[in-house]
């Protein structure tokens, strides 16, 4: 039994995905079925299971390890899953998306993400990466009638396949270097080699693996797919993949670069620093000129990837814990904001252009206030979650003396505040046309409440979660 303990959270999510699939199969045409419920049960169950496994350090088959690091990411991912399900319940049906497929694929994607966070073998990481990628490709194009959806999905798929190939190639070189794909054996092999001059092989390994990760976290210059995919996908899919894929990819990124490749820090830190700086700058500067909210949040997510990379570059305990905490704050803020965009839309109008928000304050004061809170959290204003996240990440960078990166980070966050505020200006300071007010379903209210409470809780009383985050990194690294 202990052999299987580590995969219990994964299994729960996979089972709920299968249940969603079966439900769709036996559903009579036209019959309404609360399939989102399976997703909710699955995500909540996996979160509970992860909580029970805390400190157990269980390992399955030598390739999946539920250390606290993986479990923390699991809980982040389950939060993402729960919020996605809550917001999707109403919006998916409205947009005419086949519910069973949508939920099943989302849950399989979630399963892949959890696996990626817990995998301790490069090949398993690759398999997990493919599971989640395939799910997300399909989700991006799930509105078959939509041309932008198809374009985004195709672009994402093509570029994604390339990057997977790079990643796989990197695994091959890592194997050539160390004779294994297990992270701990690679670590042993590399640390014994590290004394000598780094070979071309190590450069190739680092570079190719990094490219694979850069693509998934949408770091510049591997970000080209992000705006198109985010804009083309249904809004809730955008929300799911901008937070979930990022969390999973960063988990694996941290695990690979700060464990087996840790001894090669001097080689990869300068490269990562350059990429992080460019990512932060491009993400915010290009974000300023966007007029579509989803594209804007796509560029914002690129910038946030840059901030998160500072945690890896710092390469210390503060940095690792900061990445974990930041992923959680980013997830709740971004899901909240995109969830509101999704809720405001209708079958005809996705409500994702900036001008759609004009005068929203007059018609939907509550939603406008919440949107403002989520956007300010993304911008890093106290006393909201995003502030603590940014502060934690920049602390890590400053601790290691990376002042320049921290300065670029804070200055670009000022620029990002400019475009987050463009939405606020639209909502509060622009006259708009009176629009119909779609009634908020109970599930959506639950989701918004959860996200808002989380944003304030993480912003005002972050102690508990910060402690959990720093506990999480102790066990493996």
Partner 1 sequence: MMLSITVFLPLVGALVVLLAGGRGEPRDREPLIRNIALLFSIATFALTLWLWWHFDPTTADYQYVERYAWIPAFGIQYFVGIDGISLFLMVLTGFLTPLALLSSWESVHKSVGNFSFFVLALETAMLGVFVSLDLFLFYVFWDFMLIPMYFLIGIWGYDRRVYAAVKFILYTMAGSVLMLIAIIGLAWAHSAQTGVLSFSLLDLYNVQLPWRTEFWFFLAFAVAFAIKVPLFPFHTWLPDAHVEAPTAGSIILAGVLLKMGTYGLLRFAFPLFPDAALYFAPWLGLLAVIGIIYGALVAMVQPDMKKLVAYSSVSHLGFVVLGLAAMNIQGVQGSVYQMLNHGVSTGGLFMIVGMLSDRRHTRLISEFGGLKAVMPRFVAAFLIITLASIALPLTNGFIGEFLILIGAFKWDWRLTAFAAVGVILSAVYMLWMFQRVNYGPVTNEKNRALPDLTPREWALMVPTVAMCLFMGVFPNVFLRPMEPSVNRVIERVHSRQAARAQAAPAGRVVHATPRLAENEAPARGRTVTPPSISDND
Site string for partner 1, 447-466 (x = CB under 8 A): ---------------xx--x
CA angle, 243 as apex, 71 and 151 as ends, to 5°?
135
Q: How far is the CB of 405 from partner 1 (least distance, A)?
A: 10
Count of CA atoms in the C-beta half-sphere (13 A) of 85: 28
Q: Could you say which DSSP state residue 364 is in?
A: -
Range 295-304 burial, b when 16+ CB lie within 10 A, else e: bbbbbbbbbb
Cβ-contact 66, 53 below 8 angstroms: yes
Residue (139 or 324) nearer to partner 1, CB: 324
CA angle, 236 as apex, 231 and 240 as ends, to 5°?
95
- Quick check: 407 binds partner 1 (CB under 8 A)? yes
Residue (207 or 382) nearer to partner 1, CB: 382
Q: How far is the CB of 340 from partner 1 (least distance, A)?
A: 18
Residue (155 or 390) nearer to partner 1, CB: 390
User: Which region among 9-17, 28-36, 250-258, 380-388 touches partner 1 (by CB under 8 A)?
Assistant: 380-388
Which member of 120, 387, 454, 458 binds partner 1 (CB under 8 A)? 387
Residue (82 or 458) nearer to partner 1, CB: 458
CA-closest candidate to residue 41, choices 16, 24, 23: 16
Q: How far is the CB of 376 from partner 1 (least distance, A)?
A: 7
The size of the interface with partner 1 (CB under 8 A), counted in residues, is 30
Site string for partner 1, 422-451 (x = CB under 8 A): ---x--xxx---------------------
3-class secondary structure for 406-418?
Answer: HHHHHHHHHHHHH
Residue (236 or 376) nearer to partner 1, CB: 376
Task: Report the C-alpha gap between 289 and 296 in whole angstroms.
Answer: 8
What Cα–Cα distance (Å) separates residue 77 from each residue in 125, 147, 240, 291? 16, 30, 10, 29
CA-closest candidate to residue 146, choices 298, 348, 345: 348
Task: Report the C-alpha gap between 228 and 10 in whole angstroms.
Answer: 30
- Quick check: 399 binds partner 1 (CB under 8 A)? yes
- Quick check: 394 binds partner 1 (CB under 8 A)? yes
Cβ atoms < 10 Å from Cβ of 22: 13
Token couple for 385: 């979650």
- Quick check: 363 binds partner 1 (CB under 8 A)? no
Task: Report the C-alpha gap between 35 and 22 in whole angstroms.
Answer: 10
- Quick check: 250 binds partner 1 (CB under 8 A)? no
Strand partners, 38: none
Which member of 43, 413, 452, 472 binds partner 1 (CB under 8 A)? 413
Site string for partner 1, 70-89 (x = CB under 8 A): --------------------
- Quick check: 381 binds partner 1 (CB under 8 A)? yes
Residue (37 or 383) nearer to partner 1, CB: 383
Q: How far is the CB of 458 from partner 1 (least distance, A)?
A: 11
Task: Report the C-alpha gap between 464 and 337 in whole angstroms.
Answer: 25
Residue (265 or 470) nearer to partner 1, CB: 470
Q: How far is the CB of 406 from partner 1 (least distance, A)?
A: 5
- Quick check: 382 binds partner 1 (CB under 8 A)? yes
What are the start-end ranges of the H helices in 380-402? Answer: 385-399
The site for partner 1 (CB under 8 A) is made up of 365, 376, 381-383, 387, 391, 394-395, 398-399, 403, 406-407, 410-411, 413-414, 417-418, 421, 425, 428-430, 462-463, 466-467, 470
């Amino acid at each position: 039994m202990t052999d299987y303990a580590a995969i219990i959270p994964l299994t729960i999510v996979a089972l709920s995905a299968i249940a969603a699939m079966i439900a769709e199969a036996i559903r009579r045409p036209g019959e309404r079925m609360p399939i989102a419920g399976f997703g909710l049960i699955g995500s909540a169950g996996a979160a509970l299971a992860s909580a029970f496994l805390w400190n157990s350090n269980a390992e399955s088959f030598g390739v999946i390890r539920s250390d606290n690091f993986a479990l923390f990411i699991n809980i982040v991912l389950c939060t993402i899953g729960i919020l996605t399900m809550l917001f999707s319940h109403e919006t998916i049906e409205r947009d005419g998306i086949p519910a069973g497929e949508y939920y099943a694929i989302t849950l399989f994607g979630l399963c892949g993400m959890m696996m990626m966070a817990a995998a301790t073998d490069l090949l398993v990481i690759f398999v997990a990466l493919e599971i989640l990628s395939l799910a997300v490709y399909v989700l991006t194009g799930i509105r078959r009638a939509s041309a932008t959806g198809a374009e985004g999905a195709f672009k994402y798929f093509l570029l994604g396949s390339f990057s997977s190939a790079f990643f796989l190639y990197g695994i091959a070189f890592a194997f050539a270097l160390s004779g294994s794909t297990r992270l701990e054996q690679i670590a042993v092999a590399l640390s014994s080699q590290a004394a000598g001059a780094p070979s071309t092989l190590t450069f190739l390994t680092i570079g190719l693996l990094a490219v694979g990760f850069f693509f998934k976290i949408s770091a510049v210059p591997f970000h080209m797919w992000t705006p198109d995919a985010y804009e083309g996908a249904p809004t809730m899919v955008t929300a799911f993949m901008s937070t979930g894929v990022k969390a999973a990819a960063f988990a694996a990124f941290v695990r690979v670069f700060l464990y087996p490749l840790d001894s090669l820090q001097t080689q990869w830190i300068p490269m990562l620093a350059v990429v992080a700086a460019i990512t932060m700058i491009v993400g915010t500067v290009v974000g300023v000129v966007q007029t579509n909210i989803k594209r804007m949040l796509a560029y914002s997510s690129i910038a946030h990837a840059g901030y998160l990379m500072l945690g890896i570059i710092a390469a210390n305990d503060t940095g690792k814990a900061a990445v974990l905490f930041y992923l959680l704050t980013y997830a709740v803020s971004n899901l909240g904001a995109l969830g509101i965009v999704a809720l405001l839309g209708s079958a005809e109008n996705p409500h994702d252009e900036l001008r759609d928000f004009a005068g929203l304050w007059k018609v939907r004061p509550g939603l406008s206030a919440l949107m403002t809170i989520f956007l300010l959290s993304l911008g890093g204003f106290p006393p909201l979650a995003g502030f603590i996240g940014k502060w934690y990440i920049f602390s890590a960078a400053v601790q290691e003396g990376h002042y320049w990166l921290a300065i670029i980070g804070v200055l670009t966050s000022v620029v990002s505040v400019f475009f987050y505020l463009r939405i606020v200006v639209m909502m509060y300071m622009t006259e708009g046309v009176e629009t119909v007010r779609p009634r908020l379903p109970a599930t959506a209210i639950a989701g918004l409440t959860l996200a808002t409470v989380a944003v304030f809780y993480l912003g005002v009383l972050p102690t508990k979660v910060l402690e959990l985050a720093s506990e999480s990194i102790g066990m493996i690294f």
